[in-house]
């Protein structure tokens, strides 16, 4: 009976749910990544609930503005991040980084 209990625990630990939970998108990691990798062009950090400064024509959009645009769904943001855009012609982000950034932006949707 001890062997079967151990086997059951191993099967539960290896289940897709535990793998999925361990790799869930992390908005804090997404914010930190975006500050370093995106902050040169985008206004990333929300400042105590205040809106970012007005956007300059031709500049990269502020993350809060992206978040508040109802047309920019999580999937559309993912698609944009997967493709070169702006000065990111040679940048390819890992899927985990894309998921973390999208998770951070999704968190900015609440005013």
DSSP 12-58: HHTSHHHHHHHT---HHHHHHHHHHHTTTTS----BTTBPPPPPPTT
Query: Does residue 8 surpass a pLDDT of 90?
Result: no
Residue 32 pLDDT greater than 70, yes or no = yes
Q: How many CB atoms lie within 10 A of CB 35?
A: 15
Q: 21 or 78: whose pLDDT is higher?
A: 78
Q: Of 76, 75, 93, whose CA–CA distance to 84 is shortest?
A: 93
Tens of pLDDT, residue by residue over 72-88, are: 999 999 999 998 877 77
Q: What's the average model confidence in pLDDT over 15-34?
A: 77
Q: Are 88 and 80 in contact (CB under 8 A)?
A: no
The three state secondary structure string of 59-72 is: CCCCHHHHHHCCCC
The pTM (predicted TM-score) of the whole model is 0.71
pLDDT at 14 over 80: no
CB 103 within 8 A of CB 81: no
Residue 18 has pLDDT above 50, yes or no: no
């Amino acid at each position: 009976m001890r062997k079967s209990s151990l086997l059951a625990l191993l099967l539960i630990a290896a289940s897709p749910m535990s793998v999925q939970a361990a790799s869930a998108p992390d908005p804090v990691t997404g914010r930190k990544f975006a500050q370093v990798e995106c902050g040169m062009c985008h206004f990333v950090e929300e400042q105590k609930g205040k809106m970012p400064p007005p956007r300059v024509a031709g500049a990269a959009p502020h993350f809060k503005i992206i978040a508040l645009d109802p047309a920019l769904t999580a999937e559309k943001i993912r698609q944009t991040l997967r493709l070169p855009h702006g000065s990111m012609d040679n940048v390819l982000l890992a899927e985990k980084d894309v998921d973390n950034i999208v998770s951070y932006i999704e968190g900015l949707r609440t005013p």
